[in-house]
Amino acid sequence: MTTIDEFAAGFADEPGYFDFAKYGPISTPVAEEQRGLVDLQARSRHGSEIALDEQAGRVRRAVSALVGFPADQVVFQPNTSEGLLHTMFGLTGQIVLSAREYPSLPLAVTRASSALRVLDPVWMDPTYGAVTPALVQEHLTSSTTAVAVSAVDYRTGYLADLEGIRQVIGDRLLIVDAIQGLGVADLPWSLADVVMAGGQKWLRAGWGTGFLALSERAATELTPVFTGVAGSELALGGRYDQPVPVRAGAAAFQVANPDPIAQARLATAAEAVTAVGVPAIAAAVAERASRLIDLADEAAVPVMSSRDEAERAGIVVLQPEPAQLTTLTAAFINHGVTATVRDTTVRLSTHVSNDDESFDMLRAALTSFGSAVTY
């Protein structure tokens, strides 16, 4: 096992970075893994392709250990959006989802609905982005076949109650966009039928990395509409001049051969998270999120995200008076604090690599803001 301090020491991001919900700077082991395989690929000695080919199985095993799905029901994807599109184009019936989800999810649903006309979206309008079991239950009908939800809402940081949602939807498919929670929130992923995520945020594996994991039922019920050579029996060998069927299970949801170096980056990151354990990471992040809230309170900056640890992961959202937003943004810039400013809010997101220096920089920025504001 790896200690949380050893895990945190594996990152080299600069102090003042509080934007992990946008992009998590890759770890030193991930960077080293990439450099080693790039060098191998550049030299291309006889037999070197073996190490590259091995990454497909490695990444499936690493993701399997992280989310609790069998390795043969996990398939690498270059991003969350591709996993969502595979899922929604393969789905039929009525799907319940929030209109306030990150656009990748609603866009995948509306594109599939308008193109194939076999998917019927039912839209929820949750208060502050909170998709609760009660809200889901209100929108279920006898025609509902699936419910889709983000594990963590990207605007508010609200942590979905997957157990409660599973209880109210029964045997309908539960589809979870896990990108804002995987690796930082201790959630029962195996309760879902479909889980997809990119690795560029909390897993800190960089862009071009992701996966799609399916339950046995989802693998049976979803139609692999977009299947290329990698998702067909040709990938297992055979003649190229004859029609071939798609592969069984999650493997069918592939278009082309993936980048083995991207697979290695995701595998390295997932292995590191598993080695330290998500509960340890979640506890460290929860402590840091509480520090963010305390600093905001000291500066009298309103916190719009939940203060309840059971309802949040690593995201804390500030909502100053509209006339003060520019002043707060300038204070962050002047003190080297990186965050996401959107509409009327400032989203701070923290991870294990945020040390005391980072929090000192944030405190200085908030103090500067307070001295510049006239009440």
Domain endpoint, select from 235, 255, 276: 276
Residues 148 and 265 in one domain: yes
Residues 260 and 310 in one domain: no
Per the prediction, the chain carries an average pLDDT of 95
Query: What's the structural domain count of the chain?
Result: 2
> Of 211, 212, 205, nearest to 269 (Cα)?
205
Same domain (yes/no): 250, 341: no
The DSSP H or E segment spanning 197 is: strand 194-198
CA distances to 72, 209, 230, 342 from 25, rounded to whole Å, are 29, 13, 30, 21
Q: What is the pLDDT of residue 100?
A: 94
Residue 43: CB partners within 8 Å, gap ≥ 6? none
Q: How many CB atoms lie within 10 A of CB 278?
A: 18
Q: What is the number of residues in the chain? A: 375
In this structure, the answer to whether residues 236 and 149 fall within a common structural domain is: yes
Last residue within a domain, chosen from 244, 276, 308:
276
Instruction: Dump pLDDT digits (tens) for 341-352.
Output: 999 999 999 999
Domain stop point among 276, 306, 327? 276
Residue 375 confidence class, pLDDT cut points 50, 70, 90: low
180 and 198 housed in the same domain: yes
Written as six digits, the tokens of 193 are 């039928």
Is the confidence at residue 50, as pLDDT, over 60?
yes
CATH number of 162's domain: 3.40.640.10
Instruction: Name residue 49's beta-bridge partners.
Output: none
Q: Are 13 and 350 in contact (CB under 8 A)?
A: no
β-partners of residue 177 are 150, 196
Q: What is the pTM of this model?
A: 0.95
Q: Which of 168, 174, 200, 173 is nearest to 187 (CA)?
A: 174
Read off the pLDDT of residues 198-256 as tens digits, 9 standing for 90 and up.
999 999 999 999 999 999 999 999 999 988 888 887 777 766 666 778 888 999 999 99
* Tokens coding 302: 């309103």
Residue 137 pLDDT exceeds 60: yes
Neighbours of 99 (CB within 10 A): 11
- Same domain, yes or no, for 252 and 286? no
Predicted confidence band of residue 109 (pLDDT cuts 50, 70, 90): very high
Range of the domain at 208: 28-276
Residue 246 pLDDT? 86
Question: Are 272 and 299 in a shared domain?
Answer: no
pLDDT at 145: 98
Distance between CA atoms of residues 361 and 75, nearest Å: 41
Residues 235 and 167 in one domain: yes
58 shares its domain with 110: yes
Using the predicted structure, report yes or no on whether residue 48 has a pLDDT greater than 90. no
284 and 354 together in one domain:
yes
Q: What would the pLDDT profile of 299-343 be if each residue is shown by its tens digit?
A: 999 999 999 999 999 999 999 999 999 999 999 999 999 999 999
Mean predicted confidence (pLDDT) in 92-102: 97
CATH number of the CATH domain containing 327: 3.90.1150.10
**Residues 193 and 218 reside in one and the same domain:** yes
Q: Please tell me the distance from the alpha carbon of residue 147 to that of residue 136, in angstroms, as a whole number.
A: 8
Q: How many CB atoms lie within 10 A of CB 211?
A: 31
DSSP state of 200: S
Q: How many CB atoms are closer than 10 A to CB 12?
A: 11
